[in-house]
Each structure stands twice: as C-alpha cells, then as structure tokens.
Chain A
Amino acid sequence: MTGWLAYNTAIVLAGTMLLGASCGLVGCFAVLRRRALLGDALAHAALPGVGVAFLLANERSMPVLLLGALVSGLLGVVIVAVLRFATRTKDDAAIGAVLGVASALGFVLIRVIQDRTTTGSKAGLASYILGKTAGMIAQDVYLMAAVSAGCLAIVWFFYKEFKAIAFDPGFAKVQGWPVLALDFLLTGLIAVAVVVGLPAVGGLLITALLIIPAVSARFWTDSLGRMLMLSTLLGGAIGACGTALSAQFSFSPAGPVIVLVGTAAFTGSMLLAPRRGLIARGLDEARFRRRLARQKLLRMLYELDEAAGGGPRPFELADVGVTIARIDAMARDGLATPVGAGRYLLTASGREQGARAARASRLWHLFLSEHADLAPSYADLDAERIDTILPDEMIRELESRLLADGSWPVELPPPAMEACR
C-alpha cells in the first residue's frame, strides 16, 4: 500500500480522472459542433486571467485563479466571435490571433508576477502553462468532482437540445429552442471543464483532453449517448493512466504524459475500432475489391460461353489471365471445377452467378445510356446491387428492353412478363 495508493497519489489520481471524465463528456459536443479549436483559444485565453486574478487577490487561491481564468477564457471566446461576425476576419484567423496574443499576454503577466513576488507561491503559476498534478489537494478534487457532477447534470438535462444543436442547429431553431442561449451554455460548460483542468494539464495542452477522448469514442459508435458514455470513461482512464505513469516514472510535468496516453488511445481506436477503424475499413475495402473482381471474371467467362453459343466450355487459366490462387478460391466456393491440367470449367452455380452479373452489368449500361440525366442521383454505382438501387419499375422497363434486343442472359429465367409493355 505504500507509494502506489498513498493518500497524495490517490488524491491526484481521483482529480485527474474526474478532470479527464468531464473534459471527455463536454468535448464530445465541441468535436461534433466543429468547435474543437475554439476550446484551444479558450484555454490559451484563460492564461492572462490567471495572472490578473493573482495580482488582484495577491495570493494563490485556486478558486480565485480559476474564476479569473474562466472570465478571461470566455472573454477570449467573445473576442473571437466579435472578430468573426463584426469584421472581415475569418474564424481561423480570429482563433489564431486570440490564441497567440492571449498566450503572449499570459506569459508577460506570469513573468511580471514571478519577478515581483518573493514568496514561494509564485511557482504555482507556471503550472497553469504546462500543468502540474503534484500540488493537487483534497479541496481541488472536491471542486473537480462538483464540476464533473454539474457538467453531467446539465448534459443529462439538456441532452435532447444539445443533441439537436450538435447535429442540426437549423432543426433546433425551427423547433423554437433558444439556439444561441444553448450554444452559450455549451460553450460555458466547455470553458468550465477547460479551466478546471488548467492547473493539472496546463493551458497549452488541455485541448487535447477535450478532443482526444471524443474523437476516439467516435470511432467505436454511431450513437451520441454511447459516444458520451465512452468518451467520459475514456477521458477518466486517460487522466488516471497518465498520472499513474508520470508518478511511477517521475516524469514531470504530468500534462504531456496524460496527453501522450491520450494519443495512444486515439491511435488504438483509429486502427482497431470495428467498422470505422482504419484496419476494419481497409479489410472491408479489400473484400469489396475481391468480390468485384470475382464478379467481373464470372461475367467475362459467362459471356465467352455465350458468344461461342452452346453449353459450358472449359477454359485455360493462361487465356483468361487468372492466378491459380484466385481460381482455387473460386473452386473452394463451388464456382469452378478443374477438368485437367490448367483447365477449368464453370459449375452451374458459377454460370448462374456469371449470368446474374451479366444481367446487372447490361442493365446498368442500358440505364446509363438511356437515362444519363438520372445517373447522378444514383451515384453509388455498384454493378451488382442494381436491384436495391434503382426503383422496381425502372428495372422492369430495362429488363424488357434487354429481352427485346436479345441480350437477356439465357441462363436466367425470363423477367416477370406482366411488367413488359
């Protein structure tokens, strides 16, 4: 029990976990509303507030400093909004300008304070830049717990409204909800979460805690509720792991370590998440390509037979340019059978699939040449899925045309005749 769960370590662990969780929760909305970097401007803009609050209060009392940070952070957001809406400055330049000037002002103030004060309290201010978890005391953790609970309560209460403004602000407006006020509330939540995290992670890096859990959670789910839950848990885990690592290996400051743990979580999610992850998507794509290639091959073989007339004829691998591995895979799936050295024959099911592919491809060709004006509305042109993409009447019309000009694959039963005109 020594070292690891000593009282101080437990305090710091609890604090960073709560911090990670509340940032993870509100960060989801920042990410979904494409406000991720506004959080960065807010965090940088909070720095001068810390200095001013210290100069005014003349002591390092955490609630006072955080109040100063909150006020100046929100002021920074207001300045971004003014630059954006009242001048020709675009939002990126507005965020960049506020961020740059505010950090400059913050450094100036903190330097002034460090040079002036002779008490030991001055060292605490630098931690607002890069973060320092070691100085955390029980009161700080209570504050973080209160903030986390408050964030959770507000998000719970306004879940429906926040959901609407995150995905479709226009809809929220039409519903008659006060979009602007809700937006302010959301920005306020983000500001509170950021400011509370300042002393531990620092103004330069707290954005990471806002963005990383949320985008990582996004890889695993498509539902907002689950994303919020996942992001909160992930944020807490990142905060706790980062602190533990930094304590164990005495890395200081802890901020960068926490962020790097987050980076690892993000990279893992990006690679490994099912469906949305890079590996899953790469495999999906490879599978899709393979399927398309096989359809194309079956169609080609079927059409060779069709052109020659009569029943199925064996083909030479070399003639059709197919690798042994591919034909083996097809043989395993019962689409082709070997009939001698390097010679293969399509099975009945292979011929049927080829005929189907030929039908779909001819339907598409006909559709694209006859209805080129409609084609852009069916942008997802996948030759095989024509029946699920085009409306039934269109399919029947195209089928009757194929039948009429003799290009209907004879393998297949003729199309339902009652639809033919």
Chain B
Amino acid sequence: MNALAHLIAGHELPFWTITIGVVANIPTAMLGCYLVLRRMSLMGDAISHAVLPGIVLGFLWSHSLAGWGIFVGAVVMGLITAMLTQTINTYARVPEDSSMGVVFTSLFALGVFLITNLARNFDLDPGCVLYGLIEAAPLDTVSWLGVEVPRALGPMFAALVATCVFVAVFWKELKISSFDPALATAMGYRATAMHYALMAMVAVVTVASFEAVGSIIVIAMLVVPAATAHLLTDRFGRMMLLAVGVSIVSTVMGYWSAAALDTTVAGMMGVAAGVQLAAAVIFSPRYGLVGKAANSLALSMRIVGEDIVAMLYRAEELAGQSRRGLPEKLSLRHCVRAVGGGLTARLAVPYLWRRGAIALAGGELTLTDRGRRLAQSLVRSHRLWEAFLTEHFQLPLDHVHAPAERIEHFIGPQLQESLAEDLRAPSVDPHGRDIPPTT
C-alpha cells in the first residue's frame, strides 16, 4: 500500500478522478451489453432517469449520499419503472415506447421537482445529481489501510463487484435469454426473473455511478460502449471486454480533454464515448461504413473484372472461329464501356492488371495465361448454367443468358462439377457454343 501511496503522491486528483470514473463506468458498460442485445437500451435510459426520485427520497430518508437509503430508493424506482411500463403496456394497451415515455418522464419530473423544491434545504443540488460531480469526489476521503481513499469509491466498488458476480453467476442464463428469450423459456430458464434481475442491477449501477457521471450521462455510458463493441465483434465475451475497454478509454480521454477545455468531466466522458462510437461506425472492419463500402466496392470490382476477362475470352474464341479474323485484342475504352462504364469498370482494369490477369499494350487489352484460366472457368460456369436452365426448366434460348450472366460469378468448382455431372458432361451449351473444360 505504501508503494501505491508513493506512486500516486502528487497526482492524487487525476489518479482518483480517473479511478472513480473507471470503477463507475465498467459495470455500466457490462450491463449495457445485455441491454443493447436485448433491444432494451431505452429501458436503461428510462431507469437511469427514473431512479432520480428514488435517490432523492432515499437521501431525504438517510440524509447521506453514501448510505443505503439511496440504493434502496433507486432499486425500488428502477423496478417500478420496468413494471409500470409493462403494466401500462399490457393492461391499458398503450404502445410500449409511449408507455415507457410516460413512466420515465413522470418519475424524472417528480425527481427534479423534489430536488428543487423539497431538498433545497439539504446538501443536494440538482447539478450534482444530473451532471455528476466527479471533480469534487476525490476531495472527500476516508482512510483505508493507511491510504486516503475517496469516500465515493466505496459504493461504486461494491456495485462493480456485485455486477461482476451477477454476470459471472448468470453468464449462461443472461446470454441465452438475451439472444433467444423463447429458447431460454423453453429450456426452463426463468426469463422474466432474469429480466427483472437485470433491471434491478441496472438501477444499482445507475445509482452507484450517478455521483461520478450524473444520472443523465449514465445513459451514454450504458449504451454507447456496448453499441461500439457490438459493431466490432460477433462474440459476446469479446463484446463485453471491448465495451469495458471503451468505457475505460472514455474515462481517461474524458478526464484529460475536460482538463484541457476546462469543462465538465462527466460530459466529456460521454463525448469521448461518442467519438469512439463514431469511429467504430465509420471504421469497423466488418460493420463500419468504410468497411461495408470497401466490401461492396471489392465485390463490384470482382464482378466487373470477371466480366472483362470473360469478354476477352469470348473475343479470342470468335477470332479463332471467324474467317475474317476478328481482332483478339480490344481497346481499353471499348472494354470499359462494354461492362457498363463508370468508376468500378475503370478501377477494375488496374485491379485485373495487378492480379496478372490481363496485359495492356498500346491501349489494347489481352488475356494473360492466368486471366485465360480465370475466364475459361467463368465461361464454363456460364454455359453449364445455361444448359442446366434449358434442361430442367425448358426456358427458351433467349431467356437463359441473363440469369447465367448473373450467377456465373458465384458458381464455384464444386457446383461446376455437380452441374456437369447432372447434365452428363455436355460439351456444348444450348446456343451450340463449346463448353470449355475445367482448368
């Protein structure tokens, strides 16, 4: 402990502020993962607003922000929110979003009303509850094992431990009821009990962290790290780890940027989380905007490129058959126009050239051996498919080219083989053209 005391000597304020932020935000991010997957983020929002009257009543009862009063008050309010929303939805047939909206705005209004009117004589001001006062939290300390530790850390640490235990004990149940509630019920898990347990935990962490981030910005810390992680991975365990990572980064970034801009730490934590979400939305390899655009561009380039080599292959084929000696080469401009033009077509040419499928000489394109093999396989797929459509669906001849043109890009060697087998290894397609052999 002396080593720790030595380490943080002189940096108490940033050290404890960041510690409080991290301890407050980790359980929030962990539970947020379940909320996001269950599509209940807004229930988290509702609860984080609605615990306010619970906090105030608990405070009025116990006269302390660190006591059990506010925890009990907040958990009760959290459960009341979840139950009232459900009840008004079921019995009064108000749509769920409206029923949630009525319940949480009403409770929140009640909380603000109580703070501003009844609690004004006490040491509880709306700013502290709504936006958090993490800046001041390290100043109020207790001595613990010889180190001066902020008093606020106690309940937060308890909430962190409680959340970890809750998640560890009910890992399987929470996971299955988040992904497939019907299956969970069918397997005999108490999905409703899990639901309310989760809601109670959300209320607990909301209260534990309101002193650090305020009851409004809790919603950002509940939803944003989980949503960010959800964009980055498909594995649940990894998602939770990533969400925790995002919340830690948000805390550190939030602290330093708030110090630089001289503004609220809690607010900057929310903004930092938002920045990370924006980054994930744009740059996530699989689900990000750039990644998705790149994937779709790559697919278009592959298809257009394959169309170009197949066209060159057919030109070679015609030149071999024709007496008039059609040109084997096609001009670059002609090729690009023939596959539809546009940006993808123009990009597809260098793409093919880099892959060594075509050679470019004097503005004219020719196939390399490699390109010819690729084209041969494509043309084989195309003509096998035409034969297949004629054989099994009796489509007229002028109806088989278009579907074959689309599907040729997605027929692999295995399907090619099955098609050939099914059609008893035909050598010509319905138009009478040769079906090239396998490469």
CB < 8 Å neighbour of B264 from A99, A111, A257, A266: A111
Interface presence of A191 (CB below 8 A): no
- Interface stretch of the complex, out of A247-255, A300-308, A349-357: A247-255
Interface presence of B110 (CB below 8 A): yes
Interface presence of A93 (CB below 8 A): yes
Tier of interface size on chain B: 35 or more
Q: 0/1 per residue, B303-326, Cβ < 8 Å to A?
A: 000000000000000000000000
CB distance from B404 to the nearest CB of A (A): 33
Q: 0/1 per residue, B102-122, Cβ < 8 Å to A?
A: 100110111011001100000
Interface presence of A107 (CB below 8 A): yes
Interface presence of B375 (CB below 8 A): no
- Known contacts A37-B100, A205-B105; A101 and B113 CB within 8 A of each other: no
- Interface stretch of the complex, out of B37-45, B65-73, B136-144, B180-188: B37-45
- Known contacts A37-B42, A208-B109, A259-B106; A97 and B224 CB within 8 A of each other: yes
| B226 neighbours in A (Cβ, 8 Å) | 93
With most chain A CB atoms within 10 A of its CB, the pick from B98, B267, B277 is: B98
CA A201 to CA B113, docked complex, whole Å: 13
- Interface stretch of the complex, out of B89-97, B197-205, B345-353, B411-419: B89-97
Interface presence of B420 (CB below 8 A): no
CB distance from B96 to the nearest CB of A (A): 8
CA A82 to CA B292, docked complex, whole Å: 13
- Flag if B95 contacts A253 (CB, 8 Å): no
Question: Chain A residue with minimal CB distance to B217?
Answer: A104
| A34 neighbours in B (Cβ, 8 Å) | 95, 97-98
- Flag if B267 contacts A90 (CB, 8 Å): no
Tier of interface size on chain A: 35 or more
Question: Chain B residue with minimal CB distance to A113?
Answer: B263
CA A89 to CA B277, docked complex, whole Å: 11
With most chain B CB atoms within 10 A of its CB, the pick from A104, A211, A276 is: A104
- Flag if A103 contacts B289 (CB, 8 Å): no
CA A281 to CA B261, docked complex, whole Å: 57
Top 4 nearest A-B pairs by Cβ distance?
A104-B270, A100-B220, A101-B274, A208-B105
30 pairs, A vs B, C-beta closer than 8 Å? A31-B95, A31-B98, A34-B95, A34-B98, A37-B100, A40-B101, A87-B281, A87-B284, A88-B231, A89-B230, A92-B39, A92-B41, A95-B42, A96-B44, A100-B221, A100-B222, A100-B223, A100-B270, A101-B271, A104-B267, A104-B271, A104-B273, A107-B264, A205-B105, A211-B98, A215-B94, A219-B92, A256-B108, A257-B113, A276-B92
Known A36-B97, A260-B110, A276-B93; further 15 A-B contacts with Cβ < 8 A: A87-B281, A99-B45, A100-B216, A100-B220, A101-B271, A103-B217, A104-B274, A115-B263, A204-B49, A205-B112, A211-B101, A219-B92, A256-B113, A276-B92, A278-B91
Which residues on B are within 8 Å of A, measured CB to CB?
36, 39-42, 44-45, 49, 88, 91-95, 97-102, 105-106, 108-110, 112-113, 116-117, 126, 130-131, 216-217, 219-224, 226-227, 230-231, 258, 261-264, 266-271, 273-274, 277, 281, 284, 287-289, 292
